Amino acid sequence: VDVAVDAAAGVVTVEPDEALRTTLVERAKAERALASDTAAGATADGHPVALLANIGTAEDAERVAGTAVEGVGLFRTEVLFLERATAPSVEDQAATYTRALTALGGRKVVVRTLDAGADKPLAFATAADEENPALGVRGYRLVRTHPDLITTQLAALAAAQEATGTAPWVMAPMIATPAEARDFAKAAHAVGVKTVGVMVEIPAAALRAEQILAEVDFVSLGTNDLAQYTMATDRLRGELADLLSAWQPAVIELVASTARAGKTTGKPVGVCGESASDPLMALVLVGLGVTSLSMAAGAVPAVRYAVRHHTLATCEQMAAAALAAGSADEARAAVVALADPQVRAALGW
């Protein structure tokens, strides 16, 4: 049985016809050609948009160090904690962070503190009887039950900073209130972390983004969880995938609200959810005012190509069209209609 997989569109076709085979082969050739462009991320008229990679291990850092990315926008540190009976020591964590920072040679590295709970339970920290873990003690909320986990991790990050001379940006996940952001910033600054931020993945945080940005240096939108909590839809339920789309106008509105807060405060607003790896959605995010996009390193060439072939004004038109749409499908169609025909053809829109 022959199967064609279009990972970008999330479509699997059994026994594809010759036309589809040809289309996918040509698209693969085009994507390989895109990888030859190694310029910094920017729109056609020169508006900068940092293009960053997502990683989960020091080995990932070493791999992406040889690619044309401007740094790391999401270092998922929970990989260090999963499938263990006890938490890793300060020394073990510091060794991993030091290795990653060294590999990236001074490029920007945004580290997310432990994001455990829900679909990433920890044997030594997650309550077995939690009835609704997605709404329970997860992410930064672990500070309520296991404060040692965050203090140990911050100490390890500070040690890696001292060992390498590179200051990572450090952000906390699952922040809901300005008070939580303030408490995290205080704890991080206390050990010497210089640049402190938080994830915006709860609607409450997006709605209060300006107040949160008064407490921290930057925010990063986790659009996967933001869609889940906005649309009241379990990320693990495949039959509800349409509700989880980042093209849902309600989700886009919350991204817009957060980006406006960034403009008002003069602070960076990044996106590190799956939406950043969609070249078409990337144009909308740029138009909304997002300052950096972080994704799997392999997705960067296509996103770079799309961004470099549209002006900021066009991206802003696209964002307005998406916000005005009545549904996710309408939003995407409206943006496709505004895209450069050459880019549409190259990326298969």
What is the greatest pairwise CA distance in the chain? 62
Are residues 22 and 46 both part of a single domain? no
pLDDT at 203: 98
Q: How far is CA 346 from CA 24, 59, 308, 343, in A?
A: 11, 32, 13, 5
The proportion of the chain whose per-residue pLDDT surpasses 90, expressed as a percent, equals 81
Task: 320-326: list long-range contacts, CB under 8 Å, 24+ apart.
Answer: 320/287, 322/247, 322/249, 322/252, 322/284, 323/249, 323/252, 323/253, 323/256, 325/249, 326/249
* 3-class secondary-structure state, position 219: strand
Helix 300-308, helix 18-34: angle, nearest 10: 80
Of the candidate ranges 205-214, 272-281, 313-322, the one whose mean pLDDT is the lowest: 272-281
With bands split at pLDDT 50, 70 and 90, how would you rate the model's confidence at 11?
Answer: confident
Q: Quote the pTM value.
A: 0.91
Q: Please list, in sequence order, all residues whose beta carbon lies within 8 angstroms of the beta carbon of residue 283, skipping any fewer than 6 positions away.
A: 306, 307, 310, 314, 315, 318, 335, 339
Are residues 102 and 240 both part of a single domain? yes
Are residues 254 and 277 both part of a single domain? yes
With bands split at pLDDT 50, 70 and 90, how would you rate the model's confidence at 51?
Answer: very high
Measured in whole angstroms, how far is the alpha carbon of residue 213 from the centre of its chain? 18
Are residues 5 and 97 both part of a single domain? no
- Tokens for 191? 């050990």
What number is the average pLDDT over the span 276-298? 98
Residue whose token pair is 């960034």 = 262
Q: How far is CA 89 from CA 94, 137, 151, 222, in A?
A: 8, 22, 11, 28
Are residues 253 and 164 both part of a single domain? yes
pLDDT tens by residue, 110-156: 999 999 877 778 888 788 778 888 899 999 999 999 999 999 999 99
Are residues 52 and 111 both part of a single domain? yes
Does residue 32 or residue 165 have the better pLDDT?
165
Are residues 9 and 143 both part of a single domain? no
With bands split at pLDDT 50, 70 and 90, how would you rate the model's confidence at 9?
Answer: low
Are residues 276 and 219 both part of a single domain? yes
pLDDT at 279: 97
Are residues 237 and 333 both part of a single domain? yes
Are residues 16 and 141 both part of a single domain? no
Rounded to 5°, the CA angle 185-257-70 comes to 60
With bands split at pLDDT 50, 70 and 90, how would you rate the model's confidence at 324?
Answer: very high
Q: Please list, in sequence order, all residues whose beta carbon lies within 8 angstroms of the beta carbon of residue 333, skipping any fewer than 6 positions away.
A: 325
Query: What average pLDDT is seen over the chain?
Result: 94
What number is the average pLDDT over the span 232-259? 94
Number of domains in the chain: 2
Are residues 190 and 209 both part of a single domain? yes
Query: 90 is in which domain, residue-wise?
Result: 40-347
- Tokens for 186? 């205080």
Of the candidate ranges 78-92, 179-193, 279-293, the one whose mean pLDDT is the lowest: 78-92
Are residues 55 and 3 both part of a single domain? no
Q: Please list, in sequence order, all residues whose beta carbon lies within 8 angstroms of the beta carbon of residue 244, skipping any fewer than 6 positions away.
A: 224, 227, 228, 231, 233, 235
